Amino acid sequence: MTAFSSQLFELLKSYVLENSHLTRIQASDCKILSARISDKTSHTVSETTLKRIYGFALSKFKPSLFTIDVLSNYCGYNGWDDFCKKQDKQHTNSNHKNADWDSLSQKAAKITNFTLQALKNKSGIPFNQSIKRNFLDKHFDEFLKGDYAATVLLAPPSYGKTIALCHWVDEKLALNITSGSNDIFLFFSSNALMNVLISGKDFNDWLLALLGYTLEEDIISLLDSNKRKEGNFYLIIDGLDEHMFKNNWFQLLLDQLMDIFSFYQSHKWFKIVLTMRSTNWINNRHILDYDHPKWFIGTITDQQLNSNVPLFNLQEIKELCLNINPEMQTPIPADVANSFNHPLYFQFYYKQHKDNFSLNNIDHTSIYDLISNFIFNKIYQGHHAADKTLLLKGLIENMDFKKHEYDVDKLKVNDLFSQYNQAYKELLSIGFLKEINTSNDAQFNTYVQFGNNNFSELAIAHKLLYDNNNTFDGNLIKAINLSFSNNELKVPIIKWCVMHAMKNGQQENFSALSRADLNPRERLDVIAFFGDLLYKVHLAQSNTGATTNFFKQDCIDGLFYYFFGLELITPDYKKALQSLLKFELSNYKKILTYSALAITSVLQLDLPALEAYLLKLNVFSHEDYQEFTISPLECLNTIYYFFKYGIIKKDFFITITRFYFNPPKQTGNLRYSQGNDLIYLLAGYTLLICQKPRKMLRYIQALQKVHAKDSTESTGYNFFLKILMADSYFLLGKVKELKTIHDHISELFKTKESSFTPYMKQAFYSLKIKKAVLNGEYNAIPGYFKYLNQATEKSGNRFSKIFTINLLISNPAVVNQDEAFYKQLAYNNSRALRECGLSPEIFSHHDFSN
């Protein structure tokens, strides 16, 4: 039998489609194609086999001789051997004056095919399930259109440079066969060049000898215009990275490569293609002569990383997922895609879930799990594990967190690298660390950095834990607060520490989390992460291990109450609250949790969910609600009846009247204070929904006496109390009072916008719209509404948006100012109310007399 050739098999696959009149095959076509092959050849190639052949199902082996013989028969050949012979004859049928080019092509093809196969076998995701990258076609189109001799693909390790290049070379080799192109591809990985340097040979001489030429025969004279076919010669070297080579070998190789570049740069048919780590390119640009007009760099997509290889986009992630699992039809959310746009992380995830691949189970902890697994295998396992750990510890000790200085001057720690030289080389080789040389003619500057932010965050967290006896407690949180005040690393470091505590049985210390100095947005981030972590741990817990009894008891107060706050409401918040129900909670905590879930449903205008939570809350006894100053069930029932039937329950207003005329005694109990924050705001929103602004102001005035809180306006409770006051002033038409609150929150927003959660931003822009209405600033409203829309998408709070829309469309001045804007608002309102099952009349009840 003729040896299997992947290029010829790709050609055969294209002939099969051509004979079936299919320009592009889909998974569903394989069944039809199987039937056509059976009809024509009387032999069966199953639908599953065809799915494997065309990449719709996993294939670990080459197709059988029977299969390729049948496919060859289907295309009109006597079998695979006949197909191969006729293709070879067609391709090599040339006269003697072109023998040199053909001979060169054949020898280069053997080397290239070997390199391709070796690199494909190393692919973290099976190569037939990986995808070609569109950016590479654009890159090479520009390269070949211009007067360039060399190009380079630049990116940090594991950005997918090699696999993308393999797809491109594969495609070009197949094009050689199908279109009669005469391009030659000589493809090496940097591993293959090690032997050249060890043998002491010159790279150019070795290259000529490898292709069958004597040293006396120069390739230019052999391939002159009379002997050379029309086509390009591509010298491709993948992974030209200095960590692969010993001592000065890398510099020697670059020097010799630049000799080749200099020698052939004037010949348009000779092209050099390299892939390198960004850091290697930066550190060796002076040798590579990067400013030379014959070098093509392309578009640097990430200036900070100096990379021209982009991460996966959403469409590429979808394509890759379908290649791996064609049955996965669920849409991929954008936030999930953003977490897995890095080829390295996607590869990690695939390895853990290849038997049942899907991105539907991705949550806030997934990336942390993947990176943790990578660190365990690459750093804490194998040779030099202790040296790697000590090296990273010493490196971190030379950083200045308060000044946000994470780059370490190599001269300051050179002794450390000398002591742990092999460990340092290994950390460079896996991309966990990188060296950046920014020296100039006046000074030597070489800095050591972590490969990416995820690696640095984990390493710093482990260092802080090490200094605290590997214990998650108040002292650790205090150290984080001191070192990372107003620092972007604080939240991810806390997440790593929380994961450490969960894995090491330190769950009883989670109450220390409440001592972390976090703004509302940071707290929301931590809670979403913690909720997913609790949910995942509960799902995976067994009868043994550190978490065995964790959920078989009440949730500790410090952790439980940390989860509550109106500002936290987003689509993720509901899952975080539900994770608390995995514990054996007291009735008080169960009521509070179900109430928070019901409040989320109210703001999302999810009436079926609200009904479900009301059923849960109605199970508890009257005595259980005695612990609450205001019954959350009474508030929620009032809202439900108002939304469902347009009925205002008078009992609730009697309760509120009793509250502000006979307020309860102020309590210093932290438990009740934290629990009542949410309930007091719930009562306020109940008054707002029922449009009772005067009662609202009297209620807030009494509330401030019995439930005084820290005056910091950026905290959720105080912020929303101010918003409720502003809403009351708006309904009463009190311009001056509303403006005072608006201006105060606007100043807060200017200085602390990044600390606002999506719901806080939504409330702020709603306030700006109300202020604009009272002041007649109608031109500004469409702009504010745009920002309100964006915040609504992130918070999921549909009620606030619809409430604001109804205020606008009921105002004649808004209608007269911008008719198109009014019509759009009216349409959006009608559709939203219809989707939520609400009547428009509920927002037209205006009784502000009491």
pLDDT tens digits, residue range 469-495?
999 999 999 999 999 988 889 999 999
Sheet containing 408-409: give its strands across.
Answer: 408-409, 446-450, 433-437
Q: 89 or 30, which is more confident?
A: 30
Of 47-51, 59-63, 254-258, 712-716, least confident by mean pLDDT is: 712-716
- Pick from 301, 359, 283: nearest CA to 161: 301
SS3 content of the chain, % helix, strand, coil (to 5): 65, 5, 30
Yes or no: say if 133 and 164 are a contact pair by the CB < 8 Å rule: yes
Confidence check: pLDDT of 209 > 70: no
Q: What is the pLDDT of residue 587?
A: 94
> Do 71 and 45 contact (CB within 8 A), yes or no?
yes
What is residue 213's predicted lDDT score, i.e. its pLDDT?
Answer: 61
- pLDDT value of residue 331: 72
**Residue 180 tokens, joined:** 């009669």
CA distance 363 to 360: 9
Residues 798-808 have a mean pLDDT of 88
According to DSSP, the β-strands at 408-409 and 446-450 are: antiparallel
Cα distance between residue 826 and residue 824, in whole Å: 5
64 backbone dihedrals φ, ψ, rounded to 5°:
-70, 160
Decide which of 80 and 672 is more confident. Answer: 80
Assign 37 to helix, strand or coil. Answer: helix
pLDDT in tens, 730-760: 989 999 999 999 999 999 999 889 999 999 9
* Cβ 399 vs Cβ 439: under 8 Å: no
* Topology, domain 98-310: Rossmann fold (3.40.50)
Say how many CA atoms lie within 13 Å of 818 toward its Cβ: 14
Does the pLDDT at position 836 exceed 90? no
Residue 338: per-residue pLDDT: 75
Q: What is the percent of the chain where pLDDT is above 90? A: 35
Q: 818 or 684, which is more confident?
A: 684
Give the whole-angstrom CA distance, residue 373 versus residue 784. 45
Residues 6+ apart with CB under 8 A from 162: 119, 122, 189, 238, 239, 275
Q: Phi-psi region for residue 42, left (φ > 0), alpha (ψ -120 to 50) or beta? A: left
C-alpha to C-alpha distance for 161 and 177, rounded to whole angstroms: 25
Q: How far is CA 147 from CA 181, 220, 224, 262, in A?
A: 20, 19, 20, 14
Tell me the three state secondary structure of residue 302. strand
In this prediction, residue 15 carries a pLDDT of: 85
* Listed residue (508, 424, 154) closest to 297, CA to CA: 154
pLDDT digits (tens, 9 = 90+) for 134-152: 899 999 999 999 999 999 9
Q: Are strands 446-450 and 433-437 parallel, antiparallel or unpaired?
A: antiparallel
How far from the centroid of its chain's Cα atoms is residue 447's Cα? 28
Q: Which band of pLDDT confidence, cut at 50, 70 and 90, is reported for residue 542? A: low
Query: Tokens 């090599």 appear where?
Result: 92
pLDDT in the model for residue 288: 83
Q: How confident is the model at residue 226 (pLDDT cuts 50, 70, 90)?
A: low
Q: Is 527 helix (H, G, I), strand (E, B) or coil?
A: helix
Report whether 47 contacts 34 (CB < 8 A).
yes
The 3-state DSSP class for residue 463 equals: helix
Structure tokens, 397: 């000790």
674 versus 596: which is more confidently predicted?
596
661 touches 701 (CB < 8 A): no
pLDDT higher than 90, residue 27: no
Question: Rounded distance, CA 194 to CA 175, Å?
Answer: 31
Given a cut of 90, whether residue 435 has pLDDT beyond it is: no
Indicate the angle between helix axes 134-145 and 161-179, nearest 10 degrees: 60
Determine the Cα–Cα distance for residues 452 and 305; give it in Å rounded to an integer: 9
Query: What are the boundaries of each domain within the chain?
Result: 1-93, 98-310, 314-362, 374-560, 735-850
Q: State residue 346 phi and psi, 5-degree precision.
A: -60, -40
C-alpha angle 54-58-59 in degrees, rounded to nearest 5: 75
How would residue 500 be classed by pLDDT, with cut points 50, 70 and 90?
very high
Distance between first and last Cα of the chain:
95
Look-up: residue for tokens 């991460």? 311
Residue tagged 């309904």 (tokens): 731
pLDDT at 9: 78
- Global pTM reads 0.79
Q: Report the range of poorest mean pLDDT among 84-88, 390-394, 569-573.
A: 84-88
The reported pLDDT for the residue numbered 62 is: 72
More confident residue, 341 or 57: 341
Q: Which residue has the tokens 């609202």?
A: 696
Q: Provide the pLDDT for residue 543.
A: 46
| Mean pLDDT calculated for residue range 366-374 | 88
pLDDT of 850 = 56
Average pLDDT over the chain reads 84
Per-residue pLDDT at 671 exceeds 60: no
Q: Which alpha helices (DSSP H) does 223-365 contain, by range? A: 249-264, 278-283, 285-288, 314-324, 334-339, 343-353
pLDDT of residue 97: 42
Q: What does the block give as tokens for 831?
A: 């559709």
Tokens read off for 203: 């790279």
Q: Which amino acid is at 217?
A: E
User: Taking the mean position of all CA atoms in its chain, how far away is CA 196?
Assistant: 41
Cβ count within 10 A of residue 765: 23
Q: What is the pLDDT of residues 79-113, one digit of tens each?
A: 888 888 887 666 545 433 444 677 777 778 888 88
* 732 Cβ contact list (under 8 Å, min separation 6): 693, 694, 848
| Residue 387: partners with Cβ closer than 8 Å, 6 or more residues away | 420, 422, 423
> How large is the C-alpha radius of gyration of the chain?
34
One-letter amino acid identity for 582? K
With contact defined as beta carbons under 8 Å apart, do 564 and 596 qualify? yes
Query: Does the pLDDT value for residue 788 go beyond 50?
Result: yes
Three-class SS of residue 16?
helix
Q: Over the range 403-428, which residues count as b (16 or more CB within 10 Å of their CB) and which as e?
A: eeebebebeebeebbeebeebbebbb
CA proximity to 739, closest of 717, 772, 765, 700 = 772
Lowest mean pLDDT among 10-19, 452-461, 592-601: 10-19
**CA dist list (Å): 609 to 612, 801, 836:** 5, 19, 11
Tokens of 229: 């076919």
pLDDT tens profile 625-651? 988 889 999 999 999 998 888 888 888
What stretch of H or E contains 636? helix 632-645
Could you say which DSSP state residue 58 is in? -
Residue 328 phi/psi, 5-degree rounding, is: -80, 100
155 close to 308: Cβ distance less than 8 angstroms:
yes
